[in-house]
Amino acid sequence: MRRIVVPSLFFMALLGIWGIAAGSGRWSPVLFPSPWSVAEYLWGALLDGTLVEAIFVTMKRLLAGYAIGLLIGLPLGLLTSSSQMLEDTIGALALGLQTLPSVCWVPLALLWFGQTEGAMLFVVVMGTVWSVIIATDHGARTIPPIYARAARTMGSQGLHLWTRVMLPASLPFLVSGMKQGWAFAWRSLMAAEIYVTILTGFGLGQLLHYGRELQAMDQVIGAMAMIVIIGSLADRILFSPWERFLHRRWGTNVE
Amino acid sequence: MNMAEAQWQGVMPEHASGASSKLIVESVSKWFRTPRATVHALDSISMQVAAGEVVCLVGPSGCGKSTLLDIIAGLTKPDSGHVLADGHLVTGPGRQRLVVFQEPSLFPWLDVFGNVMFGLKLCPELTNDGRREIAHRFLGLVGLEKFERVHVHELSGGMKQRVALARALAADPQVLLMDEPFGALDAMTREHLYDDVQRIWRDAGKTIVFVTHNMREAVCLGDRVLLMSQAPGKIIQAFDIPLPRPRSIYDVELVGYAARIADALRGTVGGGVPE
Ligand SMILES: Nc1ncnc2c1ncn2[C@@H]1O[C@H](COP(=O)(O)OP(=O)(O)O)[C@@H](O)[C@H]1O
Ligand SMILES: [Mg+2]
């Protein structure tokens, strides 16, 4: 109960302070809109379909980029964890490129792909794949070797060893790798949508971008709020059930 | 069986002294090379274990007991020498030589029943119903029939070792290799398990190599006790234990044997090898 009441009070207080500050008249409402005008914008955008459309377009791009990022990143992470040579090459590359904020991929993507969906996909994949490789690699190294040793003395080997022992043993770090990847994919896509302004689809990032172009501050803040809400909702819906499952089985807090 | 094993089978003449030996370890040596130093873990170890015999390996910690067991299991390759199981060269792990490890080795993604079934599913000669029946039976044998659907992390240390024991026994290996399986348990649980284990072994008639650093445990469980020296590990003395079974850990004669072995060990540690 406390865990619901205290946060609600906290966020209501924040909104209250924002409302009072906006209402004080010290700043132009064009630059500093009140919470009500942002809510009004969001309501309007919801009714005329822009918001739903933007969320749909963004999610489509996100899932495509994320899926490709996982498809490349998970196997590569497993490989780098099992071979010193691959660790020194691909692993080092991933470690280096992971430090590159995803927005830094945008100029290159624009020159290679132009203002296209491909450019956006490229940025998301590049933003996702390195962190997935690193998280997977790190996790695979922390699987206690005793599992494989025990399984091998019981006659498990080859494919059986991989699918029945290594894969389930790696669930905790797979989930944390996928969670990490999701966070990075989401950030990259927002960077990409703000810079790649195409007409094949109008995502949340683009809503934000055109808010600025039109000097519509209520739209800018409304889009930002939506990005926060969707980001944290997705985290809860996609990853919490897995983490609860792991917690029950392993008896640990998987982070 | 793999190629190398099959070849050895053909080339090797029937081993003269070990025709009835289940396990033959012949002048096995092992070094571990680390960036900082080279550790000489095992120095020319030779031993034989007859079918149905329980041999206990005792020695101070770090003397190479686990390494020797790993080599017998086929999990580690010796640098020189070799291990024969039923006259065949051991080149890798196989389910005829199951290991019960010192550290918890149950799979956390499976429940207790699933863990016991894991080894059984690797026995192609069994049907699924047969496997389930065996798993139930062995979990009953170690007194855990009520815990079949419990997650591994919800078990106590002693219960985990019982599950590991059931998992190993259920798969019906000819040889059981046990690496200080009771080391992490409190004395009360341990003494209870000695009774269980002696009863189960008598019924199952397995060949067992049991590693421990507890002299009384070794005398209580072993037909023979092999004493190993400080690193590099060497077998320095063998003791036959002709006591009747089942043995109690508090038996006076048993304690006498244990004291004699401890004295022998102290002699070597105090004598030549400085710490
Ligand atoms: N993988 C390894 N790498 C390096 N040294 C090892 C390794 N395994 C064991 N050793 C060394 O070999 C010696 C014997 O170890 P071990 O067989 O575990 O002893 P015990 O089981 O009798 O306590 C120890 O000195 C240990 O440090
Ligand atoms: Mg050991």
Residue by residue, pLDDT tens for chain B (275 residues) are: 444 444 444 334 334 444 578 999 999 999 999 899 999 999 999 999 999 999 999 998 899 999 999 999 999 999 999 999 999 999 999 989 999 998 889 999 999 999 999 999 999 999 999 999 999 999 998 889 999 999 999 998 889 988 998 999 899 899 999 999 888 778 887 888 888 888 888 887 889 999 998 999 999 999 999 999 987 899 999 999 999 989 999 999 999 999 999 999 887 654 444 33
Establish if A104 belongs to a structural domain. yes
Judge whether residue A246 has pLDDT over 90: no
By C-alpha distance, the chain B residue nearest A245 is: B109
Is there a contact between B227 and B266 (Cβ–Cβ < 8 Å)?
Answer: no
Cβ-defined contact of A152 to B93 (cutoff 8 Å): yes
**Nearest CA to B213 among B235, B184, B251, B180?**
B180
| Domain residue limits at A167 | 33-250
**Nearest CA to A123 among A151, A142, A101?**
A101
Q: Does the interface predicted TM-score (ipTM) exceed 0.95?
A: no
Ligand 1 neighbour B231 (Cβ under 6 A): yes
Protein residue closest via CA to atom 25 of ligand 1: B62
Which ligand is closest in space to the CA of residue B233? 1
Cβ-defined contact of B101 to A146 (cutoff 8 Å): yes
In angstroms, what separates the C-alpha of A160 from chain B's closest C-alpha?
9
Give the pLDDT band (50/70/90) at residue A201.
Answer: confident
pTM of the model: 0.78
Least confident of A146-155, A209-218, B42-51: A209-218
Record the tokens describing residue A84, joined without a space.
Answer: 């010193």
The verdict on A156 touching B (C-beta cutoff 8 Å) is yes
Establish if A191 belongs to a structural domain. yes
Protein residue closest via CA to atom 5 of ligand 1: B32
> What DSSP string runs through B31-76?
EEE-SS-EEEEEEEEEEEEETT-EEEEE--TTSSHHHHHHHHHTSS
Establish if A127 belongs to a structural domain. yes
Note the pLDDT of residue B222: 95
All structural domains of chain B with their residue ranges: 2-96+173-268, 107-170
Establish if A171 belongs to a structural domain. yes
Q: How far from chain centre, in Å, is Cα B218?
A: 12
Phi, psi of B65 (to 5 degrees): -65, -50
Question: What would the pLDDT profile of A56-105 be if each residue is shown by its tens digit?
Answer: 999 999 999 999 999 999 899 989 988 899 999 999 999 999 999 989 99
Q: How far is the CA of B177 from the centre of ligand 2 (A)?
A: 12
Number of domains in chain A: 1
Is there a contact between A73 and A132 (Cβ–Cβ < 8 Å)?
Answer: yes
* CB nearest B75 (choices: A147, A149, A168): A149
Class of domain B2-96+173-268: alpha beta
Is there a contact between B157 and B184 (Cβ–Cβ < 8 Å)?
Answer: yes
Note the pLDDT of residue A253: 58
Establish if A67 belongs to a structural domain. yes
**Nearest CA to B134 among B185, B108, B170, B82?**
B170
Note the pLDDT of residue A124: 94
In the block, residue with structure tokens 């055109």:
A210
Ligand 1 neighbour B67 (Cβ under 6 A): yes
The verdict on A241 touching B (C-beta cutoff 8 Å) is no
Give bridge partners of residue B54 from the DSSP assignment.
B208
Give the pLDDT band (50/70/90) at residue A34.
Answer: very high
Interface test with A, best of B107, B154, B159, B209 (most A CBs within 10 A): B107
The verdict on B73 touching A (C-beta cutoff 8 Å) is yes
CATH number at residue A46: 1.10.3720.10
Cβ-defined contact of A154 to B118 (cutoff 8 Å): yes
